[in-house]
Amino acid sequence: MEYKRPFGVRIDENGVIPGAKKLVRRLSDMRGYFYDEKAYEELLKEDPVVYEVYAVEQEEKDGDLNFATTILYPGKVGKEFFFTKGHFHAKADRAEIYYALKGKGGMLLQTPEGEVEWVPMEPGTVVYVPPYWAHRTVNTGDEPFIFLAIYPADAGHDYGSIKEKGFAKLVVEENGEVKLIDNPRWK
Ligand code: 6PG
Ligand code: NI
């Protein structure tokens, strides 16, 4: 038996995992995701980085684990806070754990039938993402929102249905408050 080697890594104060694979999502990578299309086109002139992911991934084998940090930047498109694309796992029954490290935000979760839950997150919050729930994080603060995710190596990502239908709720700022409102485009 050839054993894989254990290791430890230290996540730095900016959420970077040294040696990890880096992924950058700019606003231009998220066309169609935000409700306010006019505000989207306007902000696209700057094309800000919305989030970065540092992932340490194994072969997609049953029983193994991946982990990744996400640095979700503060910002809004219209009144809608910056968020991650959101996905179901390709193997939809694979669960996940999130652990908030810095900043302020929350997670939107949704079943395939469109039932939604919102879980607020601050440093120290652990979120359990059950099997079959799509998940999207939202930065509701004014500094980077940084968290660690731990997920089965064979979970995979299924972005299609969220890209098409979105979430049934939008997370917006109204009168200086964070609010969840119905997504008018959701059907
Ligand atoms: C995962 C995690 C997490 C997520 C990032 C970016 O399954 O890998 O949920 O690492 O991928 O926070 O979010 P999106 O994958 O939705 O763009
Ligand atoms: Ni996931």
Domains along the chain? Answer: 21-182 (2.60.120.10)
69 Cβ below 6 A of ligand 1: no
Say how many Å lie between the CA of residue 86 and the centre of ligand 1: 7
pLDDT digits (tens, 9 = 90+) for 139-173: 999 999 999 999 999 999 999 999 999 999 999 99
- For atom 6 of ligand 1, which residue has the closest CA? 84
Average pLDDT over residues 48-65: 97
Q: State how far the alpha carbon of 132 is from the alpha carbons of 112, 157, 163, 173, in Å.
A: 7, 12, 17, 28
Q: Identify residues whose C-beta is under 5 A from ligand 2, the ion.
A: 96
pLDDT at 187 over 90: no
Average pLDDT over residues 51-68: 97
Three-point CA angle 168, 99, 170, nearest 5°: 15
Comparing CA positions, the residue from 149, 137, 56, 153 lying closest to residue 97 is 149
pLDDT at 91 over 90: yes
Between CA 174 and CA 16 the distance in angstroms is 32
The alpha-helical segments, DSSP class H, found in 15-57 are 37-44
Pick from 23, 27, 66, 84 the residue to mutate for probing ligand 1's pocket: most ligand atoms within 8 Å of its CB.
Answer: 84
